[in-house]
Amino acid sequence: MMKKISFCSGWYFGETGKEKTAVLLPHDATQTADRSPNAPSGSGGAYYFGGCYEYSKTFDAPAE
């Protein structure tokens, strides 16, 4: 029997190598990032400096 579950909850997010916090998807990794007109990405990157972010989730996948 197939079980329907939400895949949007149970996610963790943070910068690579740092502590993760629980988030609900959809989630914007840059929402707390600094912005500046001097960012290398310019207007094409919404003036964000960028970064390396990780999302993780664990779940069970029964054989049946």
Where helices occur in 1-64 by DSSP H, the ranges are none
**Closest of 26, 29, 64, 24 to residue 50, by C-alpha:** 29
Those residues whose C-beta lies under 8 Å from the C-beta of residue 50, and which sit 6 or more positions away, are 39, 40, 41
**6-56 confidence digits (pLDDT tens):** 889 999 999 888 899 999 999 998 888 889 999 998 999 899 888 888 999
Q: What is the pTM of this model?
A: 0.68
Closest CA to 55 of 10, 1, 4: 10
> CA geometry: angle at 5 spanning 24 and 63, to 5°?
125
